[in-house]
């Protein structure tokens, strides 16, 4: 047992309703001060097989459990999350370095909401009946089986429960593989599911490294769905592993999203939206990291942006007053800095930041704005996943759209414009799974969520989640 931020966390896997140790362990390190937090079980093919076997054994009974009972249990899990919001927030902040204030008031309440939302959605699902020349059609959503869920470190419990809740609601059993940089809150969630009375084997967690756990999990023939959130290269490895079994995939991947600022908008609003992109130290898949600004207002926009960005406080994420915490890991910080150095070598210059925060040391990277990168430069096309924004200008709507669509990604786009007609015209031409007009990060669980191009495959949210996690069946009965 490890103690993190005063909270007891089990370092083992969670398989078939029991804690399972491992011969090997890996060290989980906090981004705050880079201090060791816990020795975590390092899984491999045996642990994966044990978890899939447990999930498979639990499936028949769970899939036949009434919808009302499944919904009741998901509500009990949500209540358990609510009771432990502070503990979950403290542990998640220690583990991934994101702000305690957003964990307390945004993320952990949303984790509970994920369970409640999909429990309630389940009770409304499946009333599709229609008639074909006197024959009655009835559409039903049958659970698929064991679901493998693989998640990243930037919003660990929020992203995991966005998958776990609909998968369980649909009547499936689950094997979760959390990111190795943030294993802790998945372990606490296992405790919460047990306390809520979820039957053994319905929810399982295998800890460990990507290739060692994710590899055998995604190649396992008894896995019937794979839902993955993470990077494009890993998604390609998963797609290859899943191919021999034709296991259906849902992929939520990276982005290089634009924020288009038109001259007709309130520039304070536009600058606020731009500064918001530093949230979570820029480690947000949806972040609009490319600021595309109409030439006629770029001077005024930049002035307002820099004034607002100067007010951001960087520091310890456990302090409620902090706006920007550390990056997740030294390797990640170095990767971010590599992008910025190469951008400067290619001709970009920093209007803000441009390197690690030497005063704070550790894993703090200064919020950065780069301008002057040449067309096609890596910094304009590759996902950095850090507090690094680029500034480009445009002179016409057509040019703005062409630049916005000029990457291999298509996750999201944000428009800042005072003209609703323009918003409709431009939105229709943008390649993106989500478009925000004069707002950012407003997320409703009823809405489809996913990416175009290399930003993903499929959609989750509302009915889309149930479509993915179920074998949808149509039954036609003669008169």
Minimum CB separation of residue 254 from ligand NAD in Å reads: 3
Nearer to ligand NAD, 150 or 401 (CB): 150
Closer Cβ to ligand NAD, 145 or 152, answer by number: 152
CA distances for 175 relative to 23, 50, 54, 91, 475, angstroms: 20, 10, 9, 22, 30
Q: How do beta strands 173-177 and 203-205 pair?
A: parallel
The answer to whether 412 and 391 are in contact (CB under 8 A) is no
CB of 219 to ligand NAD, least distance (A): 9
What is the smallest separation between the CB atom of 328 and ligand NAD, expressed in angstroms?
Answer: 8
Q: Which is nearer to ligand NAD, 234 or 390 (CB)?
A: 234
CB of 323: closest distance to ligand NAD in angstroms? Answer: 20
Closest to ligand NAD by CB, 62 vs 409, is 409
Please give the Cα distance from 158 to 89 (Å, whole number): 11
Q: Distance between CA atoms of 134 and 344, rounded to whole angstroms?
A: 70
Instruction: Give the DSSP letter of residue 387.
Output: S
The residues that touch ligand NAD, with contacts defined as CB under 6 A, are 150-154, 159, 177, 179-180, 210-211, 214-215, 218, 229-231, 234, 237-238, 252-255, 285, 383, 385, 411, 451, 456
- CB-wise, 65 or 441, nearer to ligand NAD? 441
CB nearer to ligand NAD: pick between 80 and 97: 97
Tell me how far, at minimum, the Cβ of 216 lies from ligand NAD, in Å: 9
- With contact defined as beta carbons under 8 Å apart, do 387 and 333 qualify? no
Q: Based on CB atoms, which residue is closest to ligand NAD, 337 or 383?
A: 383
- The whole-angstrom separation of Cα 434 and Cα 303 is 28
In the bound complex, what is the minimum distance in angstroms from residue 301's beta carbon to ligand NAD?
26
- The string over 361-391, giving b where at least 16 C-beta atoms fall within 10 Å of a residue's C-beta and e elsewhere, is ebbbbbbbbbbbbeeebebbeebbbbbbbbb
Show Cβ contacts of residue 479 under 8 Å, excluding neighbours closer than 6 positions: 134, 135, 136
Q: Least distance in Å: CB of 75 to ligand NAD? A: 25
Q: Are 253 and 230 in contact (CB under 8 A)?
A: yes
Residue 151 · residue 162 · CB < 8 Å = no
HSE-CB at 45 with a 13 A cutoff on CA atoms is 4
Indicate the residue among 286 and 373 with the shorter CB distance to ligand NAD: 286
Whole-number Å distance between alpha carbons of 248 and 172: 14
In whole angstroms, the minimum distance from the beta carbon of 136 to ligand NAD comes to: 39
SS3 33: coil
Q: Quick one: which of 86, 299, 70 has its CA closest to 173? A: 70
Does residue 202 contact residue 58 with C-beta atoms inside 8 Å?
Answer: yes
DSSP classification of residue 313? P
Task: Convert 107-146 to b/e letters by CB count within 10 Å (16 or more is b).
Answer: bbebbbbbbbbbbebbeebeeeeeeeeeeeeeeebebbbb
Q: Just list the catalytic residues.
A: 252
């Amino acid at each position: 047992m490890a103690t993190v931020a005063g909270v007891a966390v089990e370092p083992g896997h969670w398989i078939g309703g029991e804690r399972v140790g491992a011969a090997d362990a890996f060290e989980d390190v906090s981004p705050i001060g880079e201090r060791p937090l816990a020795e975590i079980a390092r899984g491999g093919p045996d642990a994966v097989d044990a978890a899939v076997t447990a999930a498979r054994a639990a499936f028949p009974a769970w899939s036949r459990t009434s919808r009302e009972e499944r919904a009741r249990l998901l509500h009990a899990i949500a209540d358990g999350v609510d009771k432990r919001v502070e503990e979950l927030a403290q542990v998640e902040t220690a583990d991934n370095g994101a702000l305690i204030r957003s964990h307390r008031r945004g993320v952990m309440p949303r984790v509970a909401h994920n369970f409640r939302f999909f429990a309630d959605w389940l009770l409304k699902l499946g009333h599709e009946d229609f008639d074909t020349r006197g024959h009655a059609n009835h559409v039903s959503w049958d659970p698929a089986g064991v679901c493998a869920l693989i998640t990243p470190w930037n919003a660990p419990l929020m992203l995991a429960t966005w998958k776990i809740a609909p998968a369980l609601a649909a009547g499936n059993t689950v094997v979760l593989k959390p990111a190795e940089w943030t294993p802790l809150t998945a372990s606490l969630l296992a405790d919460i599911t047990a306390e809520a009375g979820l039957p053994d084997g319905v929810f399982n967690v295998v800890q460990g490294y990507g290739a060692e756990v994710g590899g055998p999990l995604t190649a396992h023939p008894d896995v019937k769905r794979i839902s993955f959130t993470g990077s494009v290269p890993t998604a390609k490895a998963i797609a290859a592993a899943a191919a021999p079994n034709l296991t259906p995939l849902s992929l939520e991947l990276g982005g290089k999203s634009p924020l288009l600022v038109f001259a007709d908008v309130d520039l304070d609003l536009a600058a606020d939206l731009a500064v918001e992109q530093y949230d979570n130290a820029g480690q947000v898949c949806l972040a609009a990291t490319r600021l595309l600004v109409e030439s006629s207002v770029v001077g005024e926009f930049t002035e307002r942006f820099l004034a607002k960005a100067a007010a951001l406080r960087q520091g310890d994420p456990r302090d409620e007053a902090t706006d920007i915490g550390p990056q997740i890991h030294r390797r990640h910080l170095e990767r971010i800095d590599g992008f910025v150095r190469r951008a400067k070598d290619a001709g970009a210059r920093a209007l803000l930041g441009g390197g690690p925060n030497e005063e704070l040391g550790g894993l703090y990277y200064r919020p950065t704005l780069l301008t002057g990168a040449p067309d096609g430069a890596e910094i304009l096309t590759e996902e950095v996943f850090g507090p690094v924004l680029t500034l480009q200008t445009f002179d016409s709507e057509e040019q703005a759209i062409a630049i916005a669509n000029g990457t291999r990604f298509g996750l999201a786009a944000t428009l800042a414009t005072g003209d609703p007609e323009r918003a409709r015209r431009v939105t229709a031409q943008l390649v993106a799974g989500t478009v925000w007009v004069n707002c950012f990060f407003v997320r409703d669980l009823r809405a489809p969520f996913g990416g175009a191009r290399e930003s993903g495959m499929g959609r989750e949210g509302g009915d889309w989640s149930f479509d993915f996690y179920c074998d949808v069946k149509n039954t036609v009965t003669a008169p």
